[in-house]
Structure 1
Amino acid sequence: MDVKSLETYCLAKPGAWPDNPWEHEHPVIKVGPGERGKIFAFLGAAAVGLKCGASREVADEWLLRYPDDVRVTGYIGRSGWNDLAWGGAIPDEEILEAVDESYATIVSKLPKKLRPQGWEA
């Protein structure tokens, strides 16, 4: 797993698009139209920030399973966001599943009229 393949995977989701609001090396991936779009993945050189649970308690399960490869995401971690590192103990398949779950969680919170067609497939 690397940042480019993860970006490609994220962008294949219905309605997903890259944005770089803070002019970092790697984009965030959003879903939803324009200014109303919401981030579901923060891409980084060695990790991806994802919504890993509806609450901090649920997201903490990742910390227990992979203590060396998961960190609470700064500023928004209290809301269930974690940074998952690749190239370590977390299998690529689990990272991709976490992307899927983050995407589904974020899309389900969008108003129905802003949800992309085919997002539940």
Structure 2
Amino acid sequence: MWVDIYETFTRDACQLLGISVESPLAICINAGCTAVPALLNIKQVMMQRQVSGIWNGKDELPIEIDLGTDKRYHSMFACPILRQQSTENNPPMRLICGHVISRDALNKLCNGNK
């Protein structure tokens, strides 16, 4: 009974404060443990096909790793150029170089170069 009260209190308090019940460190460790087998597999495939240069020097992974629906977080994107949050009408746009800016910023940059 006390365990149920403890869990209910913890869950409700965290919800009111807008924080996760699960420790951020535990979330990171679990995500890493889920991702490592997929990363080892892709590394082995890349070594067999002798295309290991694809992964060198990049900040992002060459594959998408599914961590499950409980590990999907929706952060708010703020454009580094206009310093505005993205919306459905002004979504983030990924440039060829890998940077992400808002659609309005992209339009302003394109119109400014004409």
TM-score (norm 1): 0.21
The structure carrying a bigger strand percent of its residues is 1
Greater RCO (CA < 8 Å, at least 6 residues apart): 1
Instruction: Report the TM-score, using the length of structure 2 for normalisation.
Output: 0.22
Rg: which structure is higher?
2
